[in-house]
Amino acid sequence: MKLRHLVTGGAGFVGSHLIDKLMNAGGEVLCLDNYFTGRKENIQKWIGNPRFELIRHDVTEPIRLEVDRIWHLACPASPVHYQYNPIKTAKTSFLGTYNMLGLARRVGCRLLLASTSEVYGDPEIHPQPESYRGSVNTIGIRSCYDEGKRIAETLCFDYNRMHGTEIRVARIFNTYGPRMLENDGRVVSNFIVQALKEMPITIYGDGSQTRSFCYVSDLVSGLMLLMESNEKGPINLGNPNEITIKELSSIIKTHTNKEVRYEYRDLPNDDPLQRQPVITKAKELLDWNPVVGIDEGIKLTITDFEERMKIS
């Protein structure tokens, strides 16, 4: 039987890659997006396909549909976008998740929540296992997203306990790849755009803060394995290969083959100094392990940016 999938935020960076996989697997897909950060060109190739339907809708408003799986990805996920309207961001996480869980309960389907490593805040434990409860500033400029995702997880588990709603919760660590927005403020896209334009690469702090970067195809495979598993989660999905921001800039500088200089600025408030997932659960319970290395992934991402920016 073909499953009918609803992907909220489906025209976004991760959502559109997920839709590609679901469509190529022969499923029926409903893409729901309000185009705040999503782009229609990301899913353009599926428009007109009888197994694909595009719905312009904001998840903060209820919607009635008949589906077998809900992939709840809708939420601005980069600081530039989620801080643009922090109240809207919090509403998206709370009301959007509430509405999607209500739909899942009504039709008796399974829901996967795209949560985030940001629930760990600026961690006091390194690397971060799922058992770590986090160190989050509830009144900081990032809390609209961090706390929003924490309450979204809470809603999922309460719906599961109260109503038996089937849930899957993925804590997604830094993800990159083709279709990232040029102006999303994330470090990979910032560095690539700056390098390609031969602008100064902006380093916040001294560049010694660390991140772990997962290529988008690896993340999508992890999401699909989690959805069809018997595990509720939360489960970390990310690449445990930790590098400093300065090391990332050097990799991008090398693969763009551009002469660039560095510009140092103060570290933003509440910006985590370390971020690295413990993925033991994903390995043991899902048989998942990222396979795309940072060099290969950055090359593919740079090629995509060059094509979209018309830079050779």
In 3D, which of 240, 217, 238, 233 has the Cα closest to residue 285? 233
Distance between CA 256 and CA 94 in Å, rounded? 40
Distance between CA 58 and CA 52 in Å, rounded? 19
Give one DSSP letter per residue of 184-222, joined into a string: S--HHHHHHHHHHTTPPEEEETTS--EEE-EEHHHHHHH
Length in residues, the chain: 312
**Do residues 110 and 69 lie in contact, with contact meaning Cβ atoms separated by under 8 Å?**
yes
Catalytic residue from among 98, 145, 176, 215: 145
Encoded tokens for 294:
């940072």
In 3D, which of 214, 211, 75 has the Cα closest to residue 145? 75
**What's phi and psi for 189, nearest 5 deg?**
-65, -40
Encoded tokens for 18:
């997920």
**What's phi and psi for 295, nearest 5 deg?**
-65, -50
**What's phi and psi for 235, nearest 5 deg?**
-130, 130
Distance between CA 31 and CA 263 in Å, rounded? 40
Asked about 159 being catalytic, the answer comes back as no
> How do the residues of the chain divide into helix, strand and coil, expressed in percent and rounded to 5?
40, 20, 40
Catalytic positions are 145
